[in-house]
Amino acid sequence: MDEPDNPTSEQIATFRPLLLRLAMFQLRDAALAEDVAQEALAAAIEKQASFEGRSSLRTWVISILRFKILDAMRNRRRLDLSVEPAALTKELDDSVVTGCFDGAGRWKTQHREWSDPSAQLHQDDFLRVLESCMTHLPPNMSRAFMMREWLELTTGEICARMDVSPGNLRVLLYRSRMQLRTCVDRKWGRD
């Protein structure tokens, strides 16, 4: 196989908006997100010769940001993700989810199939819809969801980082998935 061309600094810099959005979904703090996204970009530019093309440039740059955030989380003085009890109580409100089901726990409506986003043409659109829906997740739900789905921390690790009980984390993750499904269902095309 041919060696891939090293990405240019300009190519790497095009991912800045994406890195900022991902950092915001995880941290929900604009100043911290800006700092860590900038650090990740600088590291990617510094290490651009080590890009081997085994993944896409996008995936490679995101993985650098992921490691930067994990590093920052290990240093609690820099990054405290513990929840505020009042904010958590508000997010644990049942309304979004219970609105989906009748009194017997049955879906109130028959869902329609989503258009298949697996074709490349549609996948970009689907991911934009998804991204837009993620901006509407409340802060603690967003942090918990991203720690699980992006940083791939165990639930035990997330409980420790956020200082929440396993039961509350389970509810946060459940609500985030339910809310995303509902939001995507409203915005994504159907067959």
Partner 1 sequence: MTMSDDGPTTCEDTTWLVSSAQDRELSDEEQSRLQKHIDGCDRCQVARRQFETLFRGVHAYVGRGTKEAPSS
Residues that bind partner 1 (CB under 8 A): 14-15, 17-18, 22, 55-56, 58-59, 62-63, 66, 94, 97-98, 100-101, 104-107, 109-114, 116-117, 120, 123-124, 126-128, 130-131, 146, 148-150, 152, 155, 167, 170-171, 173-174, 177-178, 180-181, 184-185
Instruction: Measure the CA angle with vertex 11, ends 9 and 13; round to 5°.
Output: 65
**How many whole angstroms separate alpha carbon 115 and alpha carbon 113?**
7
Q: How far is the CB of 141 from partner 1 (least distance, A)?
A: 12
**How many whole angstroms separate alpha carbon 53 and alpha carbon 76?**
33
Q: How far is the CB of 183 from partner 1 (least distance, A)?
A: 10
Q: How far is the CB of 77 from partner 1 (least distance, A)?
A: 26
If the CB atoms of residues 20 and 72 are measured against partner 1, the closer one turns out to be 20
Q: How far is the CB of 177 from partner 1 (least distance, A)?
A: 5
**How many whole angstroms separate alpha carbon 191 and alpha carbon 187?**
13
Q: What are phi and psi of 101, to 5 degrees?
A: -120, 150
**How many whole angstroms separate alpha carbon 84 and alpha carbon 126?**
33
If the CB atoms of residues 85 and 156 are measured against partner 1, the closer one turns out to be 156
If the CB atoms of residues 117 and 138 are measured against partner 1, the closer one turns out to be 117
User: Token match 């896409």: residue?
Assistant: 56
Residue 190 β-bridge partners: 114
